Chains A and B, each alone.
Chain A
Amino acid sequence: MLTSSVLEPPSVRETHSSPGGGTFRDPEGRLFRDGNRILREIYPQHSSPALAWLGSPLAQRWMRQRRMAPTTILASEPGQPALLEHERIFFPSYPWEWSPGQWIEAASLTLDLCEEALEQGLILKDATPLNILFSGPRAIFVDVLSFERRDPKSPLWIAYAQFARTFLLPLCAYVYCGWPLSATQQRRDGYEPAELAPFLPFFRRWRGPLLSLVSLPLLLQKKSRLSAERPQVSEEVASFAVRRLLRSTRKKLNSLLPSARASRWSRYTETAWHYNAADHEAKQAFVRNTLGSIRPARVLDVGANTGVYSRIAAEGGADVVAWDTDVQAAGLNWKAARQAGLSILPVVADFARPTPAVGWQNQESASLLDRARGQFDCVLMLGVLHHLLVADQIPLAGIIEQLGEISTRWAIVEWIPKGDSQFDELCRGRHTLYSHLTEDYFVETLSKRFTVRGRDRLPNGRTLWLAERIG
């Protein structure tokens, strides 16, 4: 009979207070920022295995393939803390801002790396979405010290429970209960089977992935009296069992691939009746030509929907971050970017209600605005301004102020005049409240932070503006 202790991966144990600042949960070291640089200190007693791992052919290959964050060793004196520098990933995003497809991508990468590490006698000791960032549409593993030498006689993958709680159970909650993945912002350690069970359809709980992820763990959780010993078996059996576990985990993950759902915005571009072909063509031509002349390196597309304009910007060579509140639309944008290999990072985010900072002292995960401020040389706000003004009731001056904080230079903005069918629909008869929103007022407000450099009127009466930040 196999017995084992309930072991948690080391990084979730709080053993260091990290007096120098930065992360504090990993007993082996800490990650911190120095200006624009991302540095990692490894404590002396842990530095030599970590450095050996980083120098191994497997780690080097993953870094070349950009599946693991490229890392340089800055200092490695014996008996002293080692210092590493990680390549900075442009615009870090968090799991609570990802679409379901991105969650699956991040989980697949985690399993891929764990499986490949087995070949070298290593295993992943941490398996949480917080170890992944997205570089454009591709997932990249950033917690480079999460690999350890595997006990060849242990048939267990100790991080499996963490993988199930932080990847699989949130996906189960999304697929079977409709709980938003954004709710994981307050669930750093994911969900326990017992938290999900009461909300799952009873018969469904006894089939498919839910049987082994929720129902059986729940039954065994009550009765488990596990001893402190790790099970030990022959090396062949141990290796067979771990590989089999990884295969079955991948099967569970694939069964949680959510089917594409239609949402309010996911077919907006195809069904927008207030735009005809000529309007679409004129708008795309203006954006393409403008981006072609200003040639921005980093573009933020606010209200990106399924990414028509994000793709125009990325095709012009820019690194694009695309914000949209609609999970399905962001998911379609990510899928298209992934297939086309374009540098677009779709994020489920709201300009009007930006993702807050969370974690200990509100400093573990930065807010959306802290990450965006001064990071983009061009911001696109196409077909979104009237939503912010009317639906979210944000004052125009506030929006322009925020735009000036995020963009270091350019803004391309679409102005939707009163009388536009979409504007009127959002007003719902409260036209007097918005009577001040004229094009002259828009230009006057915009001119406080930006200089107008270009303008185009679409056949449907909407106007497109190219503005350059003052100062």
Chain B
Amino acid sequence: MRWLYAGIDLSFTTLLILAVLCALAQPAHAYVDPGSGLLAVQIIGTTFAGMIFMLRRRVQAFFRGMTVHFGSKSGKDAE
């Protein structure tokens, strides 16, 4: 029976090593489109920039609204 356990243990170890090797396998870069990763990073950055732009716009609009609201109110008070 011992040899059977040893065999199972060895197979399990082999499978484990194979699984780890598969997980760590490096992609073949020979046919990867050059610069595609750098372009993808640029697109993510651009999306982020777009979000900042929209957020900044809304914040500016909010404060502009506040200024107009309170500005006109204080104007009325002055009358």
Chain A interfacial positions (CB closer than 8 Å to B):
1-4, 6-8, 155-157, 160-162, 164-165, 189, 192-195, 212-213, 216-222, 224, 226, 231, 233, 236-237, 240-241, 244-245, 248
- Is there an interface contact between B43 and A156, defined as CB atoms closer than 8 Å? yes
- Is there an interface contact between A212 and B46, defined as CB atoms closer than 8 Å? no
B17 within 8 A of A: no
- Is there an interface contact between B36 and A226, defined as CB atoms closer than 8 Å? yes
Q: Name which of B36, B46, B52 has the most chain A CB atoms within 10 A of its CB.
A: B46
- Is there an interface contact between A4 and B39, defined as CB atoms closer than 8 Å? yes
With A194-B32, A221-B32 already in contact, the answer to whether A231 and B46 are too (CB < 8 A) is: yes
Min CB gap B68→A, angstroms: 22
> In the complex, what residues of A have CB within 8 A of residue B39's CB?
4, 6-7, 156, 160-161, 224, 226
- Is there an interface contact between A241 and B50, defined as CB atoms closer than 8 Å? yes
- Is there an interface contact between A192 and B40, defined as CB atoms closer than 8 Å? no
B5 within 8 A of A: no
Q: Give me the 7 closest cross-chain CB pairs, A-B, nearest first.
A: A217-B37, A221-B37, A161-B35, A220-B40, A241-B49, A161-B38, A155-B46
Cα–Cα distance between A77 and B42 once the two chains are bound (Å) = 41
- Is there an interface contact between B36 and A156, defined as CB atoms closer than 8 Å? no
Chain B interfacial positions (CB closer than 8 Å to A):
27, 29, 32-47, 49-50, 52-54
> In the complex, what residues of B have CB within 8 A of residue A8's CB?
34-35
Min CB gap B27→A, angstroms: 5
> In the complex, what residues of A have CB within 8 A of residue B54's CB?
237
Min CB gap A245→B, angstroms: 6
Cα–Cα distance between A446 and B62 once the two chains are bound (Å) = 83
Count of CB-CB pairs between chains A and B under 8 Å = 109
Residue of B nearest to A236 (CB): B53
- Is there an interface contact between B49 and A245, defined as CB atoms closer than 8 Å? yes
- Is there an interface contact between A155 and B49, defined as CB atoms closer than 8 Å? yes
Cα–Cα distance between A1 and B44 once the two chains are bound (Å) = 10
Min CB gap A426→B, angstroms: 45
Cα–Cα distance between A157 and B38 once the two chains are bound (Å) = 11
- Given A155-B46, A192-B32, A219-B37, output 10 extra A-B contacts at Cβ < 8 Å: A6-B36, A156-B46, A157-B42, A165-B34, A189-B34, A194-B32, A216-B44, A224-B33, A233-B50, A240-B52
- Is there an interface contact between B53 and A240, defined as CB atoms closer than 8 Å? yes
- Is there an interface contact between B46 and A245, defined as CB atoms closer than 8 Å? yes
> In the complex, what residues of A have CB within 8 A of residue B40's CB?
216-217, 220-221, 224, 226
Residue of A nearest to B40 (CB): A220
> In the complex, what residues of A have CB within 8 A of residue B45's CB?
212, 241, 244-245, 248
Min CB gap B44→A, angstroms: 8
Cα–Cα distance between A219 and B43 once the two chains are bound (Å) = 14
> In the complex, what residues of A have CB within 8 A of residue B27's CB?
194, 221-222
- Is there an interface contact between A216 and B47, defined as CB atoms closer than 8 Å? no
